[in-house]
Structure 1
Amino acid sequence: MLYRLKEYKLLIICALTIYFLSMVFGIYFGKSIDGSTNEKIIMSSDPLDYLKNNIKAILVFIAGLLTFGISSIIQLTLNGMMLGVGIEGLTNRTTLLESFLYILPHGLFEIPAIILAGAIGLYPYKIIISLIKGQKIKVNFVNMIYIIGLIVSLLVLAAFVESYITPLVINFIE
């Protein structure tokens, strides 16, 4: 399956860069937001809730195929910033390690799915660059479908982990 990602290597690097620069900006921006609260974080116990939310977000990424990557760039930026603001907000109440433990269990699956979906949404840029270079345009739809299958699989795993494992980790921390 990993050989199917080779075609997307540069797009994955671009998506990763956008996402993590936005996360850093979110951490920095989050410092100026007074998000201090003593409220307990309420999490859903239904993995379908998480899966539905994540699938909706991923569809916006993949819509980048139709919006020349613009929706993917916006979604990568917003998701990265939200993660950064969330990390900053959590570090106001907990240690940095505990903050990462809130995110890490399901983030191990969800963040790669976000990056891969962002890479698919950025695919029009690969086509544009090929046109500029005068290269033949070759879109491997079978490859794209495999990667979308990988994304959905990662999101299913993330939903179950977020429903059943992340709450255990949070209860252990608190």
Structure 2
Amino acid sequence: MTRLSLFNSPLLLGFEQFERTVDRVAKASADGYPPYNIEQTSEDGLRITLAVAGFRTDELTVFLENNQLVVRGKQVDEKDRVYIHRGIAARQFQRSFVLADGIEVAGASLDNGLLSIDLRRPEPVSKVKTIAIKTPAQSARPPSIDIATDSNKGAA
């Protein structure tokens, strides 16, 4: 079976990393535990909420590695308990979320079995760069000019 690439256009140069990221996301989303929600909390804010009932704060780890937010949970199995029926699994998990460049983790909190991770997407700064065009007859042209503008104010 031939794999269809989203980034196979000659107009999309240098997007190989995105294709690898899409592959990683597809592989990571196969496991459905723990369930989670992603909500938009403001124009530049997101929140990931994971259902981690039964986990204490010291049994959860949240870290960011190479634009990948990783949440791990490992419960300590208490050996002194004798279960007549055990329907609540005490299993470890790892859930990963690939974040776009520039997304920042603002914080995490655990409340009533829900782990909430707040993310912030800062306002991007637009860059306009003029490229000088040289001809063989011209010996030198002025150097290119970089203009950084705030996207709220519009490009210069």
TM-score range, shorter chain: under 0.3
Between Structure 1 and Structure 2, which shows a larger proportion of strand residues?
Answer: 2
Higher-Rg structure is: 2
TM-score between the two structures when normalised by the length of structure 1: 0.21
Q: Whose relative contact order is higher, 1 or 2, with alpha carbons under 8 Å and at least 6 apart? A: 1
TM-score between the two structures when normalised by the length of structure 2: 0.23
